[in-house]
């Protein structure tokens, strides 16, 4: 199965998104190229120049969520040292995945307090329990996963956090057809709600799926609402967006095109909101509520998120998997917002499921 075009799309998408985010931040993102050869030990790669800034950055910290495929791929060019070098043609003898990736991240920025845009391509000899429980037919297959995943945590509490992920997976076994699918989506997590922003984001999600039939967006919106829900709190993580997984119906080309459309619409969905809100004045009260609500983000990612569980159970790169977590978080015992306050409006007007467009 020729998956080189899928990988080329992912690496190009990462570069494009980072370039637009750097334009808003006014500063370059760190570039951390990592590689895990046979045996599962991560290589320490030399400093790599940023493709958007040309500035050499040291390797050794940073983030990406994991993702997949299973035929040998080669670097795009000599400088792309994070593009699957020595370990990619075979899974690790120890059972830990081999592979590589490029993590692009910002910490303590002017606009983004923490964020990462991460490409990874990993593979292994057998699936972790979190995956075979969901898809028992994957047991005993060699697998590959690749994709781009990002989470942006803005500094200003009036700017929402956002997550986007597009991914591809394939599992193969000699003498049997490959099992493959695409997945992805994007969602918005505001701290202070704005109807204009919610409608804008959901309209961009709908636009991304419009070429693939009128029935697709309602189904993927519902899937997102169901998935990003904290069952132990009986509460949504944010205001949703779109989410899909196991996409392999109606042929490879259609599925690939749908996944690309989701990835290509992210910056149009999110960046206008950041530009509208990042200069709004705020104080200690707003930052305190932002930190409290960020706790819900942490709870979801560590308790419910399948991608996090998959990465940790399969021996993935911990720094990359946990890059999605916010830098400053608070918890309080049984706290309730003041009735009628802007904080209370998040619970009454935005977190309950709504048809925004």
163 is catalytic: yes
Q: Residue 284: which residues within 8 A CB-CB, separation 6 or more? A: none
Residue 36 contacts residue 93 (beta carbons within 8 Å): no
Task: Output the CA–CA distances (angstroms, integers) from residue 328 to 153, 177, 178, in the order listed.
Answer: 10, 46, 43
Q: 233: buried, middle or exposed (CB in 10 Å: 19+, 13-18, 0-12)?
A: exposed
Residue 149 contacts residue 67 (beta carbons within 8 Å): yes
Residue with the two structure tokens 């047991």: 139
Q: Which of 121, 153, 163, 200 is catalytic?
A: 163
Any alpha helices (H) in the chain, and if so which ranges?
4-25, 129-134, 195-209, 216-227, 252-264, 266-277, 284-303, 306-313, 318-321, 342-345
Residue 105 contacts residue 115 (beta carbons within 8 Å): yes
347: nearest Cα among 336, 332, 355: 336
Q: Residue 333: which residues within 8 A CB-CB, separation 6 or more? A: none
Catalytic residues: 163
């Amino acid at each position: 199965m020729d998956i080189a075009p899928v990988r080329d799309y992912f690496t190009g998408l990462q570069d494009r998104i980072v370039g637009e985010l750097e334009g808003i931040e006014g500063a370059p993102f760190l570039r951390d190229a990592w590689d895990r050869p046979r045996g599962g030990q991560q290589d320490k790669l030399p400093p790599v120049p940023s493709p958007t800034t040309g500035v050499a950055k040291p390797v050794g910290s940073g983030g990406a969520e994991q993702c997949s495929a299973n035929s040998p791929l080669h670097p795009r060019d000599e400088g792309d040292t994070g593009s699957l070098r020595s370990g990619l043609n075979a899974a690790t003898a120890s059972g830990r995945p081999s592979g590589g990736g490029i993590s692009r991240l910002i910490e303590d920025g002017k606009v983004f307090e923490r964020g990462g845009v991460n490409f990874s391509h990993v593979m292994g000899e057998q699936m972790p329990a979190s995956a075979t429980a969901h898809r028992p037919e994957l047991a005993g297959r060699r697998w590959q996963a690749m994709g781009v995943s990002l989470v942006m945590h803005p500094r200003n509490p009036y700017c929402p956090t956002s997550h986007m992920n597009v991914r591809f997976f394939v599992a193969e076994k000699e003498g049997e057809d490959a099992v493959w699918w695409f997945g992805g989506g994007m969602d918005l997590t505001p701290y202070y709600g704005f109807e204009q922003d919610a409608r804008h984001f959901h309209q961009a999600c709908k636009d991304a799926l419009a070429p693939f039939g009128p029935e697709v967006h309602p189904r993927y919106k519902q899937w997102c609402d169901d998935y990003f829900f904290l069952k132990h709190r009986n509460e949504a993580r944010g205001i949703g967006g779109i989410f899909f997984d196991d996409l392999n119906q109606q042929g490879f080309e259609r599925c690939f095109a749908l996944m690309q459309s989701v990835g290509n619409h992210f910056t149009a969905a999110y960046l206008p909101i950041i530009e509208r809100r990042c200069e709004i004045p705020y104080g200690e009260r707003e930052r305190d509520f932002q930190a409290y609500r960020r706790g819900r983000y942490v709870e979801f990612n560590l308790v419910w998120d399948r991608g996090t569980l998959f990465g940790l159970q399969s021996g993935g790169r911990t720094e990359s998997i946990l890059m999605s977590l916010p830098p400053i978080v608070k918890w309080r015992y049984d706290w309730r917002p003041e009735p009628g306050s802007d904080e209370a409006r998040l619970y009454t007007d935005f977190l309950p499921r709504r048809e925004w467009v």
